[in-house]
Structure 1
Amino acid sequence: MSTGLHTVITPEQCRMARAALRLGVRDLATRSGVSSMTISRFENGHSGGQAVTLRKIQAALEAAGVEFIAENGSGAGVRLIK
């Protein structure tokens, strides 16, 4: 999903990034400043999430070492940064 020049993460990407980093929901909540309930609701598809909230989550995951790959016909994804 994209807003302007920025790619906004999907719930699936959020879960994949957390798994790759071995972060729990509470760990991500602490790092992002977003409540664990909000993260859980987003990852489970119960809330689309506000853009500012998703940017906080994405920034925390990127700072921890993942890169988000935009949808390019093959599907969006994540990868660990060396």
Structure 2
Amino acid sequence: MARVAIGWGVRDLAKEAGVSPDTIARLERGEELKASTIEAIRSALEAAGVEFIPENGGGAGVRLKLKRIVGTLKI
């Protein structure tokens, strides 16, 4: 869901995370990955503006970070 929200394909995420497209496919199928691999993928998504939401009774999720606008500069 996070990958699609930012408009990335499997290859885009793989490149940004430094992993293979097959690794992304395994993640999306729910297969087990090394903790370091999951962290690399998460870091790449967060750098692209994805915010992970912890489970709060409605289940865990993701959203895009809001961009604050100050004057004409986006921060």
Query: Where on the TM-score scale, by shorter chain, does this alignment land: which range?
Result: 0.7 to 0.9
Q: Per residue, is there more helix in 1 or in 2?
A: 1
TM-score normalised by structure 1 residue count: 0.77
Matched, 1:72 2:56: yes
Give the C-alpha shift of residue 61 in structure 1.
0.2
Q: How does 1:1-82 map to 2 (within 5 A)?
A: 16-45=1-30, 47-82=31-66
Structure of higher CA gyration radius:
2
> Moved runs in structure 1, 4+ residues, more than 2 A?
none
1 or 2 for the larger relative contact order (CA 8 Å, sep ≥6)?
A: 1
Q: Which amino acid aligns with 2:29?
A: N
TM-score normalised by structure 2 residue count: 0.84
Q: Which runs of 5 or more structure 1 residues have no equivalent in the other structure?
A: 1-15
How much is the aligned-residue C-alpha RMSD, in angstroms? Answer: 0.7
Partner of 2:71: none
Q: Which runs of 5 or more structure 2 residues have no equivalent in the other structure?
A: 67-75
